[in-house]
Amino acid sequence: MIAKKFRIPREQISYILNSGESLTSKLFIIRFKRSDEKFFKYRVVVSKKLEPKAVKRNLIRRQIYESIRLNTSALEESQGFDLIFIPKKRIISSKFQEILEDIKQIIININAEPQQNP
């Protein structure tokens, strides 16, 4: 489980999905919005369309949260963003190491994004 200060509240999810910017990677669709906080807040949304069984959806969710946790050093160096990770169908057949590398790339891309658009 992630710490409460790093969690996006349920009420804000639809706001970020509707008004946030989008970024795609090999395994994820990421919706993000800049926040006033000095740290990242994140949430993982796994659809029933992706995997009908709750056990497998929860496994995917836990793997994503763990890979985010392992990349927290990169998160601490950047400005605050609210991130929503939406996994693609391809994640079902992916190994944990692939998820870890993909999230690392996402974090690098999001950190580079504000520098391109001042």
Tens-place pLDDT, residues 5-37: 888 889 999 999 999 889 899 999 999 888 887
| Percent of the residues in the chain that have a pLDDT greater than 70, as a whole number | 88
CA distances from 34 to 82, 84, 90, 101, 104 (A): 6, 12, 28, 23, 19
CB atoms within 10 A of CB 78: 17
Q: Which of 105, 14, 99, 116 is nearest to 61 (CA)?
A: 99
When comparing pLDDT for 1 and 5, which is higher? 5
Residue 111: helix, strand or coil by DSSP? helix
The pTM (predicted TM-score) of the whole model is 0.85
